[in-house]
């Protein structure tokens, strides 16, 4: 009985995937929306390098940059939960609740502007906001740079990422490194957001369209 049910379910899904792929609305949508690119996009006035992105990753997960020492970028943009935190609104300094839930960090590099209200034109500008906001990380540019300068490993990483800058550890470069890392947080070619730095490559059927997603789900049926 279960075997017959599974076969019937597979046939329904395969048929549905074909119908969805040829639906008039889907055809129209494909003329407007394109698959998320697999390649890391170019970032204006901030070339993405391995050194810069790796530094940005360290900064993204480091709570020592906040005034309390417990809040990091990942607190509100948890990469393990879709690039957001778990509540209806985001929690920050002193367990304050913000007015909104933080938007996802995944694929944000493709946004025409950052923040829900679009007040930041790029990630460099956006990165400087939460770290200084009283309800988020509640820090200052001086706190950020003095904390980073107090650790030799960070100073070395900044020198590698910004070899022409003297001094290399600046609030602007802090923001550029975060922007470079966040440019790598794309889900192109993946059913779920699993960036390459986080784990091994997964199956990547996105470019095949919605039918490929259905086919993958069929393969996972018992």
Residue 136 annotated to the active site: yes
Contact (CB, 8 A) for 67 and 137: yes
Measured distance CA(83)–CA(28) in Å, rounded: 29
Among 54, 136, 179, 182, the one annotated catalytic: 136
Measured distance CA(92)–CA(76) in Å, rounded: 8
Task: Give CA angle at 113 (141, 61), nearest 5°.
Answer: 45
Measured distance CA(148)–CA(82) in Å, rounded: 28
Measured distance CA(205)–CA(221) in Å, rounded: 17
How many CA atoms are closer than 13 Å to the CA of 107, on its beta-carbon side? 12
**Active-site residue list:** 136
């Amino acid at each position: 009985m279960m075997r017959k049910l599974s076969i019937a379910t597979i046939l329904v899904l395969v048929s549905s995937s074909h119908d969805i792929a040829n639906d008039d609305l889907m055809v129209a949508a494909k003329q407007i929306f394109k698959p998320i690119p697999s390649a890391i996009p170019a970032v204006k006035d901030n070339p993405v390098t391995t050194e810069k992105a790796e530094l940005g990753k360290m900064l993204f997960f480091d709570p020592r940059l906040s005034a309390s020492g417990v809040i990091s970028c990942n607190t509100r943009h948890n990469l393990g939960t879709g690039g957001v935190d778990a509540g209806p609104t985001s929690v920050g300094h002193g367990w304050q609740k913000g007015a909104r839930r933080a938007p996802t960090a995944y694929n944000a590099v493709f946004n025409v502007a950052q923040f829900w209200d679009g007040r930041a034109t790029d990630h460099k500008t956006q990165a400087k906001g939460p770290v200084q906001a009283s309800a988020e990380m509640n820090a200052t540019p001086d706190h950020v740079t003095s904390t980073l300068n107090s650790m030799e490993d960070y100073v070395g990483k900044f020198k590698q990422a910004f070899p022409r800058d003297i001094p290399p550890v600046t609030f602007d470069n802090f923001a550029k490194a975060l922007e470079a890392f966040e440019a790598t947080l794309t889900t192109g070619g993946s059913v779920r957001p699993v960036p390459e730095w986080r784990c091994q490559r997964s199956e990547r059927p996105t470019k095949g369209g919605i039918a490929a997603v259905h086919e993958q789900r069929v393969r996972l049926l018992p």
